[in-house]
Amino acid sequence: MGAEEVSAVAALRLAAFAVMATFSGFVGLMLVGYTVTDVGGWQAVGLIVAVGLPVASLCLLAWLRPRVAVPVLALACLAPVAFGVLELLDWQRWSSWEDQHGPVSLVLVLTVGAALAVLGLTRPREAGVMLLAIVLVPLVLEVVGAGSEWGRPLSISAVLVPVLASGVLFLLAGRGDVGHRRLSGSSRLAH
């Protein structure tokens, strides 16, 4: 693998990170704003800290200990999937609950997704797979649970297109990394 291919893989990683970081930052600021205006007071501060602390902790873990972060983030991916299972079982109830309490499914995806973006800088393939999983698995569960109203969850999930794009970019970067490792391993054997 030549230098230009290595730089292309690095560019894919950075592009994937930039897409997810920009999306997470923008949506995160919007959610903080709505929490402050709708909930207000110390309850809003508590909610912001309750989400912000796990996001910061997972991002820090992904940055400092990516090997440890992979299984931890794989477990964290179960949170959005679990909410998808709830919507599969009783879509009307959980959809109404989310309308009253806020976009919990979006918060779950962002909580895990932000850390996956950091993980993707060193482990792009794993991050890409998990980013796709936290969007697609809950979406399929919700669409099936919605039955004849399947268009509503499908249209609402359009907001998560940047997460999907980031996941695809990380997968492409991970594929380039695998090719690089194979070539560098075979060139070592030849010497």
- DSSP letters, 145-170, are HHGGGTHHHHHHGGGGHHHHHHHHHH
Distances (CA, A) of 129 to 79, 114, 122, 123, 175: 16, 14, 14, 10, 12
Q: Where are the alpha helices (H) located in 35-103, listed in sequence order?
A: 41-64, 66-76, 78-89, 91-101
Q: What is the pLDDT of residue 4?
A: 67
Instruction: Report the alpha-carbon distance of residue 64 to residue 69 in Å, rounded.
Output: 9
Query: What confidence score (pLDDT) does residue 178 get?
Result: 58
Q: What share of the chain is helix, strand, coil (3-state, %, to 5)?
A: 95, 0, 5
Tens place of pLDDT per residue across the chain (191 aa): 556 666 888 899 999 999 999 999 999 999 999 899 988 899 989 999 999 999 999 999 999 999 999 999 999 999 999 999 999 999 999 999 998 888 899 999 999 999 999 999 999 999 999 999 999 999 999 999 999 999 888 888 899 999 999 999 999 999 876 555 544 444 444 44
Q: What is the model's pLDDT at position 181?
A: 53
Q: Where are the domains of the chain?
A: 3-181
Cβ within 8 Å of residue 9, ≥6 positions away:
173, 176, 177, 180
DSSP character for 73? H
Q: How far apart are CA 105 and CA 163, in angstroms?
A: 13
Question: Would you state the structure tokens that stand for residue 80, as one six-digit string?
Answer: 């959005």
Question: In this structure, how many other beta carbons lie within 10 angstroms of the beta carbon of residue 127?
Answer: 34
